[in-house]
Amino acid sequence: MRSFVENRFGLVALVIVALAALYGVAYVTRPAPAAPATAAAPRKVAVESVTAVCPGTKGEKVGVYLPGGLSHEAMADGKPYVTKGPAALEAGYTTRATRGAGRGLAGVRCTEPAAVTWLLGPGPADAGVILHLTNADKAPALADVQVHAAEGPVSGDKGIGLEIAPGEHREIDMKTLAPSADIMAVSVTTIFGRVAVAARTTLETGGVDWLPAAAPPATRMVVPGIPGGGGRRELFVAAPGESDALVRVKAVTEDAEYAMRGRETVDVPAGSVVSLDVTTGVGGSSAALVLTSETPIVAGLVMTGTGGSSDIAFTAGTPSLDLGSAVARNGTGSRLILTALGAQPGKVRVQVVPGKGEAEPPFDVDVPAGRTRNVRLKAKGDFAVVVTPLAGEVYGGRVVEERLKTGLLITAQPLAPARRWTLLPPLTDTPRVVLP
């Protein structure tokens, strides 16, 4: 035994035997493997404060809504309007012109600074499009603007690395980035700092409105708030990634839910945007469009009014009303267009908050499953409207119409999530965050 221990090879053998024995004991006594964790859902948390930024228009009044009240503040100097306040703050304004190149109703929602903003609509070849970038903070900001057209990305490096000084507002004529694009999807990515984004579009053929922010790329997109009646309805779909998208399109109208004949699918090449005329597909009925694809997409829609002088309005892919919604600036001729998806009927509570006097009692609205419903708002003057979800998967938009002898004036706004709540993605402990 002594000679075995003194032998260096024997000592190595003893160590190996001891390690094997320890490993065997550990293997036998190991705990049963834990069941794989199910994917955690996003966590709903309360918003503490809100910053909302509106592009400036001299002489206009901004409607500012806070729970229980609506106030109005004038933009005397035409500079961007910035307001900060507690949760649920909403702000916006609507302009009205009955003649000239800017004839029409044009409504804008004051937007919060965002990491990425998507906008879809006509391109500079057919419209005057002015992009507004506002840095409302005291720190500098840097942003990238990229334009996708029918032929793919077209802006190159011209919109990359745009510096925006503290408190600065920049207006960019999209003709400087993509002069030949007739349709476009624009992404504004904030590299650092905080930037609020808006875009005003004036069609060469007539009509004006602001482009609403579209939901970020996803494999399922719902474009709500499409009013019924005459006029053209044109859908825009972009596939901003590196893969082509085969998009299935379904209409959900007041009377039915169906794939539109001849428009059941649309092919979108990688990095490009395509348009699809869905006028006959929705058949003059108020509707929402549901788009599904294995490749993430973004979507928007332009609506053209009727009459000798036509106006335009826009809507875009929007999340459901799970977090509620509010529109601060409404007027005579306003209505909600609500759509319930899935097998369960939808139900929401609607409250009108006037600019003067006490808020009206709320009322409940039932929306049949797989259908779209119009809800006319009978309040007069300027007012805010608050929509609270009660049941089902409901999407919506707010439309304002005014009928003149020269043609219909129209503006629209999808019901964006209220700033009362936000969804935080689930977090997972993993060493990958420190790996190169």
Residue 168: predicted pLDDT: 96
Residue 118: predicted pLDDT: 98
- Helix boundaries (H) for 255-402: 279-282
Q: Find, among 55, 51, 78, 47, the residue nearest to 137 by Cα.
A: 51
pTM for the structure as a whole? 0.87
Q: Which residues of 141-173 are buried (b: 16+ CB within 10 A; e: fewer)?
A: bbbbbbbbbbeebbbeeebeebebeeeebeebe
Residue by residue, DSSP assigns 36-86 as: PPPPPPPEEEE--EEEEEE---TT-EEEEEETTEEEEEE-SS-SPEEEEEE
CB atoms within 10 A of CB 16: 10
Q: What is the CA radius of gyration of the chain?
A: 27
Structure-block tokens of residue 22: 């320890």
CB distance 349 to 362 below 8 Å: yes
CB distance 231 to 285 below 8 Å: no
Q: Find, among 400, 325, 316, the residue nearest to 119 by Cα.
A: 316
Q: How far is residue 34's CA from residue 26's CA, in Å, rounded to a whole number?
A: 17
Q: How far is residue 263's CA from residue 343's CA, in Å, rounded to a whole number?
A: 24
Residue 425: predicted pLDDT: 67
Q: What angle do CA 319, 321, 324 make, to 5 degrees?
A: 125
CB atoms within 10 A of CB 90: 28
Q: How far is residue 293's CA from residue 259's CA, in Å, rounded to a whole number?
A: 14
Q: What are phi and psi of 19, to 5 degrees?
A: -65, -40
Spans in the chain with pLDDT lower than 70: 1-41, 421, 423, 425-436
Residue 401: predicted pLDDT: 96
Task: Please give the helix or strand (H or E) that residue 334 lies within, else none.
Answer: strand 334-341
Residue type, 25: V
Structure-block tokens of residue 324: 């509620």
What contacts 399, CB < 8 A, 6 or more positions away? 225, 227, 313, 334, 335, 336, 337, 410, 411, 412, 413
For the chain, the domains span 51-422
